[in-house]
Structure formats: structure tokens, C-alpha cells
Amino acid sequence: IQEKLSLLKPNTYNSVNSLLETSALELAKKVDAKIANGETIGLLEGIPFGIKDVYMVQGTYTTASSNLLKNYKSAYTATAIQKLIDAGAIPIVKENCDSFGHGSSSENTIFGAVKNAINPELVAGGSSGGSAVNVAKDYTVFSIGGDTGGSVRQPAGYNNVYGLKPTYGRISRYGLMAYASSTDCVGPIAKSVEDIRIVLNVMSGKDVKDQTTYASAEISEAAISNSNDIKTVGYFKNFIESDAIDSKIKSDFLASIEKIKAKGIEVKELDFFKSDILVSTYYTLAMAETASNLSRLDGSNYGNRIEDKNLKESYAVTRSENFSEETKRRIVGGNQVLSQGFSDEIYLKGLALRDAIAENFENDFKEVDIILSPVTPGTPPKIGDSLKDPHAMYLSDAYTVGFSLGQLPTLTIPQGTETGLQITAAKNNDELVLKFANFLK
Ligand code: GLN
């Protein structure tokens, strides 16, 4: 624990929002004492991990990388994090990210842009950029990110590590700061499928504090070591033939497809009925949900309150001074699509499209066991570039947001150095995703 803390202290990649030094060392002492006593310790006991700074951990700063919450300390601990602590894992760091999860580059933060672990001139990806970098640099053994539309999978791809977005509802979101509640997922980032499996098992399960959760069976090591039941893999032709895709990403992806065919798996080309609706549907709904979720942040209960002439002005000034440009863009957009006169035309249409997208995936999984895709159409941009063009940043989420709308389990695995390979299965079939990742090893 001491070694990891000393690696994190220089904050070379801007991946750290706060270190949990005192509590981590105390927890480590307890594990040491157990070992000295000759007691056997569990698999996760004494293992250092990182937490994206959007999770409540009692007594720690939970800033969401925002000015509004820069002095806010959690009053309680998120269910998923508590389960890890109960299993003996030791949280050592709250990690930098795009504020409130808004972004794909981890530049939209008051703590400075997170630098890519492979090439520090490039972005780390986002929004869980600090978490992916800490795992890539071995500063943490695993980190817990949050994935609403790709925030675990995309930075995992940009930094060459593994990142899982489980089936929606498999892990409790209680204590994860809400961004877009209908797609928010807790997601582990680690250096192997095995580590992902262990951490996923600990965090999964029904929680009375999150009514979307369900009970799920543990995934055993044996269950994901034999891939005999994976016969067919599909990929979306219109993702790969799009003008937006980088040529190296395309050739890496097609090379993976050839390898899979050589292993005797049947590969089918699928047609997504309209791939350009994915980004617009996701952002319509995500903006609407975040406008609603963030309406509680007006400085009256918590956060960095700025006083003005009267109550209404105080709310306005607190919000306009403390939210980032990107967050304000989303609140304005979200309130617009929810407002009278617009909501039928835009928001309700978004909901209908979400259902159509989910149905499209359900039909695809009648034909194939696994869907493969690159994680992103492009390679990580240079630090500074995404901030100049938010629309281009939204479009870079084209391959991740659809699976979020479908609430599907999906995993990024490293592939070359450019971006990752995304493995997706039908709802509740997280096991198959891990199994296929093992098969590709
Ligand atoms: N880049 C996407 C967004 O900004 C996804 C972010 C996330 O998953 N938190 O909404």
C-alpha cells in the first residue's frame, strides 16, 4: 500500500483527485496483523484499488471533478465500494474524471487533463480516464469507473487495459453520483479477465437501495475457461465501413475477425438499422436525465454555494459559476428537450428510438452469440483538441453508446496500442463476454 501511495503522490498523469492515505494505511495494518497471527486472508484482502471520484466513500472528498462539489465530503459509502471494502480490498485514491461523467477525454475537470498512459501528449479518454491510467501504470491493481455511455470501455481502450460495463442492474448504483440513471453502470477496470471476474463477483447482486438491481449467480473461473458454446460472432458492417473509422483501427479489427474465423467460429456481418441514430438518441436522453439529476445541485444542501441578492439569484450564480461549460451545455440541452412543446417531438421520440435500438440488439442475439466492434472509430486525440469541438467528441462515442442504450454487458480488451476490441453479449450474459475474452487470449 505504501509503495502504491508513493507512486501516486507525484500525480504525473493528473490521475489523482485525492489520496486516501490515512485510512488505507490503517486498513493495511489490520491485514498485516491477520497475517502475523497466522490467519488465512481472502483473495482481495490488502489489495489496493482506485475509485473514480463520483462514488461516495464516507469521509472522503467526492468532487465529481467539479468546482461545485470541490469541498464536498461523502456522508456514506456506495454499496459497490462497501462490498469491496468488506472483502478486504483497500481504497487508496479518488480518481480524476470528466466532471459528473460528462465527456470522453477526461479534460473536463478542475484537476487538469488526465494524460494518456501510453503517450502523455494524448488524452486518457473518459470519463473514467484517471481510473484507466492508474491501472495501466500499476498504481492500482484495479479501479472502479462508471460507465453511462462508454466511460469505462473507452479509456480502457485508449490505455490498453480491460474495462467492463456489466448488464445494467447487475451492480447497485447506490452511492454512484447519478448522471443518466437509465444507463449508469458501475464498471471495473483491471489488467486481466480474471481480475475483472473476481471484482465483478464481489460487487454484483440485489440491493434494496437500488430497485433496478437483480440477483445474479457467481461467475466461476471454470465457467469462463471453456468456450465450446460460442459458435457465432457478428459485427456491424456499417460501423466498419463508416467514413469516420481510422484505417489502422479498421485493419486491426478485420485482422481480429480473421483470427476468430481461423479458430473455427462462424462470423456474420450484421446491419444495424441506422447507426447514425445511436449518438443522437443517447445524447438526447443523457442530457435530459442529467438536467434532471443535477437540478439538486443548487448550493442549498451541499456544495460550493455562492450568495447573491436573493435565493433565486443565489441558485443561478452558484450553478453558472460552478458548473463547467460542458455540463452547462448538457443542462441547457436537456431542459430544452424536456420542455413543453419539445418533449413530445424530441424526448418521447428518443425513448421510442431507445426501445427500437434495444430490440435491434435482441434480434441480433438470436443469430449470434457475441457482437464485436472496435471501441472507438478514432485514436485518442491530442490534449486540448476535444475541448475545441464538442460535437466531434460526441461522435467519438458512436460505438459505445448503443450497447449502453441496450443495457448490454460489454467488455473492452486491449488490441494493439491504438484502441481496444469491444465484446458484447445479450442482456444478463456477462459470463459469455468474459468467456469470449478468455478464448481470444
Ligand atoms: N462520453 C459519454 C458522455 O459524455 C459517456 C460518458 C460516460 O459514460 N460517463 O456522455
Query: Per-residue DSSP letters for 243-293?
Result: TTS-HHHHHHHHHHHHHHHHTT-EEEEE--S-TTHHHHHHHHHHHHHHHHH
Q: Is the CB of 333 under 6 A from ligand 1?
A: no
Which of 96, 104, 289, when mutated, tests ligand 1's pocket best, judged by the most ligand atoms within 8 Å of its CB?
Answer: 104
* Dihedral sign from CA coordinates of 428, 432, 438, 441: negative
Q: Is 51 left (phi over 0), alpha (psi -120 to 50) or beta?
A: beta
Percent of the chain with pLDDT over 90: 93
Atom of ligand 1 nearest to the CA of 147: 8
| Mean of pLDDT values over 25-48 | 96
What global pTM score does this model have? Answer: 0.97
DSSP class of residue 102? -
Quote the CA–CA distance of 270 and 261 in Å, as a whole number: 16
Asked if ipTM goes beyond 0.95, one says: yes
> Which residue has the least CA distance to atom 9 on ligand 1?
101
Residue 101 dihedral angles phi and psi, to the nearest 5°: 80, 10
Average model confidence (pLDDT) for the chain?
96
The CATH architecture that domain 2-223 belongs to is Alpha-Beta Complex (3.90)
Confidence of residue 144 (pLDDT cuts 50, 70, 90): very high
User: Is the pLDDT reported for residue 58 higher than 70?
Assistant: yes
Per-residue confidence (pLDDT) for residue 227, from 0 to 100: 79
Quote the CA–CA distance of 97 and 15 in Å, as a whole number: 8
Maximum pairwise Cα distance, the chain: 71
Q: Is the CB of 227 under 6 A from ligand 1?
A: no
Which of 179, 281, 399, when mutated, tests ligand 1's pocket best, judged by the most ligand atoms within 8 Å of its CB?
Answer: 179
Amino acid (one-letter) located at 164 = L
Quote the CA–CA distance of 216 and 207 in Å, as a whole number: 12
CB atoms within 10 A of CB 308: 14
Quote the ligand 1 centre to 324 CA distance (angstroms): 15
Q: Is the CB of 148 under 6 A from ligand 1?
A: yes
Which of 65, 127, 165, when mutated, tests ligand 1's pocket best, judged by the most ligand atoms within 8 Å of its CB?
Answer: 127
| Mean of pLDDT values over 142-166 | 98
Domain boundaries, the chain: 2-223
Q: Which three cell numbers stand for residue 169?
A: 442492474
User: Is the pLDDT reported for residue 55 higher than 80?
Assistant: yes
Give, rounded to a whole angstrom, the gap between the first and last alpha carbons of the chain. Answer: 30
pLDDT tens, 326-340?
Answer: 999 999 999 999 999
Q: Is the CB of 102 under 6 A from ligand 1?
A: yes
CB 126 within 8 A of CB 264: no
Quote the ligand 1 centre to 150 CA distance (angstroms): 6
Percent of the chain with pLDDT over 70: 100
Confidence of residue 417 (pLDDT cuts 50, 70, 90): low
pLDDT tens, 330-384?
Answer: 999 999 999 999 888 999 999 999 999 999 999 999 999 999 999 999 999 999 9
User: Is the pLDDT reported for residue 228 higher than 90?
Assistant: no
Confidence of residue 94 (pLDDT cuts 50, 70, 90): very high
3-state secondary structure of 87: coil
Per-residue confidence (pLDDT) for residue 273, from 0 to 100: 67
Q: Is the CB of 128 under 6 A from ligand 1?
A: no
| Mean of pLDDT values over 212-221 | 97
Q: Is the CB of 326 under 6 A from ligand 1?
A: no
Could you give the residue numbers annotated as active site? 52, 127, 151
Q: Is the CB of 180 under 6 A from ligand 1?
A: no
Quote the ligand 1 centre to 254 CA distance (angstroms): 27
Q: Which residues contact 41 (CB under 8 A, 6 or more apart)?
A: 31, 34, 35, 88
Quote the CA–CA distance of 279 and 220 in Å, as a whole number: 35
Q: Are strands 266-270 and 185-190 parallel, antiparallel or unpaired?
A: unpaired
Q: Is the CB of 155 under 6 A from ligand 1?
A: no
Per-residue confidence (pLDDT) for residue 344, from 0 to 100: 87
